[in-house]
Copies of this chain bind each other. A is one copy, B any other.
Amino acid sequence: MSQLSDRQKIILSLVVHEHTRTAQPVGSKSLIDQYNLRISSATVRNEMNMLEEMGFLRQPHTSAGRVPTEEGYRFFVGNLVQHTSLPSATRNTIAHQFYQSRKGLDHWLPLAASVLANQSQAVSIVTAPHSENITFKHLELIATRGNQVLLVLVLVGGEIQQQILTFDSIHSQEQLSQLAQQVNHICENRSVEQIKALTPVNNPNLKLVLEAVVDQLSLANKLVTGELYLDGLSNILSEPEFTDLQADSSPLRLLEERPLLDDLISRTVLSEDIGGVRVLIGGEGTWQELQNCTVVLTRYGIPDQFSGTLGVLGPMRMPYGQTISVVRYVGELMSDLVIENLID
């Protein structure tokens, strides 16, 4: 790829910046006016022409200003964006909110979504962290009405699964506790495969419970991701990019249809990348729904053990420096919180 001169880099940056601000094509004259450049509009026009030939800018119509192309944004994000760290006032405000809220993932996840949405003025996406190696931690059986029993299964990592079991006959809480203890003894810290491989048992109740445990563990294994928190939908609906939405190729489809989003997440951001922020600009040829959008994602938690994804989806025209900083910071915060409160 041909090199860009310093001046071309500046102009590209300014076009990106100005277009982010106004959502309009940027003309040579208005650019030098806005930023008090020492060069003439004619020079800017020549440079813009070059940038257009290189594929970084594009004209919506023959005699309109220029708009960055996807390639232009990619170059900008890859080479030009200034990675300013978040102002410490903002960091403090955010951290404060987390440490002031009630402890527990249940509270932190929606809070993270809310913070991301507000700071980025885009839609935030936060998935609950999820164990990569599902293992049994603890089981409890609780007597309810009649022969129905509530099974509560705690996984290593602290996730909880519940299910209602129907026994053949009525059992007392003491009997159930004893049964649970038996199961705990057998299964503690084991994976589905290990539990499946155990020698079959004869006791029909024990068998019933073990089958349910295996069921629940397999189910947890199958889920690519757990709960999902979104926030800030109204932020993007007012953006011009989203006003003429065709129901079928709208980015909203991605947010509403869980499998699509899981696919996007799993193909974009890998568990081992914790700390890194991925910026996906314009669907990259794979996601038609993201034509005019950018997704900024990061992974948080503990690599290869217990991690989730968080980030934002917004118009391609977004303040990249700030957005990337916020996503990174919230990711770090959530990683710390998860590590501090991990069950193992």
Interface of A with B (CB < 8 Å)?
102-104, 106, 137-138, 140, 142, 144-145, 148, 150, 152, 154, 158, 160, 162-164, 219, 231-234, 237-238, 243, 245, 247, 250, 252-253, 256, 341-344
Q: Measured between C-beta atoms, what is the minimum distance from A315 to chain B in Å? A: 15
Judge whether B138 and A154 touch: CB under 8 Å. Answer: no
Judge whether A137 and B145 touch: CB under 8 Å. Answer: no
Judge whether B152 and A140 touch: CB under 8 Å. Answer: yes
Q: Measured between C-beta atoms, what is the minimum distance from A184 to chain B in Å? A: 8
A250 CA to B237 CA, complexed, in Å: 11
Q: List 7 A-B contacts (CB under 8 A).
A: A145-B344, A148-B341, A152-B152, A158-B164, A231-B256, A232-B256, A233-B252
Give the number of copies in the complex: 2
Q: Measured between C-beta atoms, what is the minimum distance from A239 to chain B in Å? A: 11
A150: which of B164, B234, B256, B343 is its contact (CB, 8 Å)?
A: B343
- Not counting A145-B342, A150-B343, A237-B250, a sample of 13 additional A-B residue pairs whose C-beta atoms are within 8 angstroms of each other reads A104-B162, A138-B142, A140-B140, A142-B343, A145-B344, A148-B341, A152-B160, A160-B162, A164-B341, A233-B256, A234-B252, A234-B253, A238-B247
Which residue of B is nearest A341, CB measured? B164
Residues of B within 8 A of A148 (CB): 341, 343
A252: which of B137, B237, B243 is its contact (CB, 8 Å)?
A: B237
A18 CA to B183 CA, complexed, in Å: 63
Q: Measured between C-beta atoms, what is the minimum distance from A19 to chain B in Å? A: 22
Residues of B within 8 A of A238 (CB): 245, 247
Residues of B within 8 A of A245 (CB): 237-238
Q: Measured between C-beta atoms, what is the minimum distance from A23 to chain B in Å? A: 16
A154: which of B150, B158, B219, B250 is its contact (CB, 8 Å)?
A: B150
- Most chain B CB atoms below 10 A, which of A106, A162, A342, A344: A162
Judge whether A145 and B252 touch: CB under 8 Å. Answer: no
9 tightest A-B CB contacts, nearest first: A144-B343, A138-B142, A140-B140, A234-B252, A238-B247, A145-B344, A150-B343, A164-B341, A142-B154
Q: Measured between C-beta atoms, what is the minimum distance from A102 to chain B in Å? A: 8
Judge whether A344 and B160 touch: CB under 8 Å. Answer: no
Residues of B within 8 A of A234 (CB): 247, 250, 252-253, 256
Which residue of B is nearest A117, CB measured? B256
Q: Measured between C-beta atoms, what is the minimum distance from A269 to chain B in Å? A: 24
Judge whether B104 and A144 touch: CB under 8 Å. Answer: no
Q: Measured between C-beta atoms, what is the minimum distance from A209 to chain B in Å? A: 16
Residues of B within 8 A of A106 (CB): 162
Which residue of B is nearest A243, CB measured? B243
Residues of B within 8 A of A104 (CB): 162-164
Residues of B within 8 A of A341 (CB): 148, 164
Given A164-B103, A238-B245: A343 and B145 interface contact (C-beta under 8 Å): yes
A227 CA to B150 CA, complexed, in Å: 20
